[in-house]
Amino acid sequence: QVQLKESGPGLVQPSQTLSLTCTVSGFSLTSYSVHWVRQHSGKSLEWMGRMWSDGDTSYNSAFTSRLSISRDTSKSQVFLKMNSLQTEDTGTYYCARNWRDWGQGVMVTVSS
Amino acid sequence: DVVMTQTPPSLSVAIGQSVSISCKSSQSLVYSDGKTYLHWLLQSSGRSPKRLIYQVSNLDSGVPDRFSGTGSQKDFTLKISRVEAKDLGVYYCAQTTHFPLTFGSGTKLEIK
């Protein structure tokens, strides 16, 4: 059974760095890509980036150089790090595989 | 970026009726391998999105055949026949042909 689960802090201060973890089970990170997607409250979905099965990464240029995605295959985890957070980065962050399988999401609020 | 334009933004339908949702892309979604990577997702209230249809017309496992997808190039349609109460939520089209991956703005389906 494929599962993805996001974890991380619910509150981050402006200008600080967001660190999220996606822990997967039921499949191997060396066989499938994992995406990170953000959703502002009541809004559509925004693709942030992707960890490919071979370890390569792709990013949405909208996040310029703020975003970094990495992984630890031994722990079946994919990591998201985004720096210089602003209030507009408040939202729910999801990890997903193939758009078929999604985590439950983690709500992040950027506020002092 | 490929812009995905969904219409209508909302729909109110009686149980048992049929509805169609349109999704138009700003570029052709035919990839170099000849396949079209246009997908349909449903996000029920308070839940994560889930994929219903992949590559225009292929139903995911467990999705009833009341759902169907058609289209080509830049013009796509999701049809729901004999709408049931459990179909309510926000429907998104999504393309994975071009980077960055993008989503439509969503169509909210409400039951009369």
Within 8 A of A100 by CB-CB distance, chain B residues are 50-51, 54, 60
- Quick check: A73 pLDDT over 80? yes
Q: Compute the average pLDDT of residues B49-73.
A: 97
Give the model's confidence band at A45: pLDDT under 50 very low, under 70 low, under 90 confident, else very high.
Answer: very high
B40-59 pLDDT tens trace? 999 999 999 999 999 999 99
Q: What is residue A23's three-state secondary structure?
A: strand
pLDDT of B102 reads: 97
pLDDT of B112 reads: 86
Q: Compute the average pLDDT of residues B52-77.
A: 97
Q: Which of A5, A47, A50, A94 to mutate to test the interface with B (most CBs of B within 10 A)?
A: A47
8 Å CB contact of A100 and B60: yes
pLDDT of A107 reads: 97
- Which chain A residue's Cα is nearest to B101? A47
**How close is the nearest chain A Cα to the Cα of B84, in Å?**
22
Beta strand pairing status for A11-12 and A106-110?
parallel
A35 touches chain B (CB under 8 A): yes
Q: Compute the average pLDDT of residues A84-96.
A: 97
pLDDT of A50 reads: 96
Within 8 A of B95 by CB-CB distance, chain A residues are none
Query: Residue B110 corresponds to which tokens in the numbers above?
Result: 């409400």
Give the model's confidence band at A98: pLDDT under 50 very low, under 70 low, under 90 confident, else very high.
Answer: confident
Within 8 A of B97 by CB-CB distance, chain A residues are none
For B78, half-sphere exposure in the C-beta direction (CA atoms, 13 angstrom radius) is 32
- Among the listed residues A33, A38, A17, the one whose alpha carbon sits nearest the alpha carbon of residue A78: A33
- Among the listed residues A93, A74, A73, the one whose alpha carbon sits nearest the alpha carbon of residue A18: A93
**How close is the nearest chain B Cα to the Cα of A8, in Å?**
17
- Quick check: A14 pLDDT over 80? yes
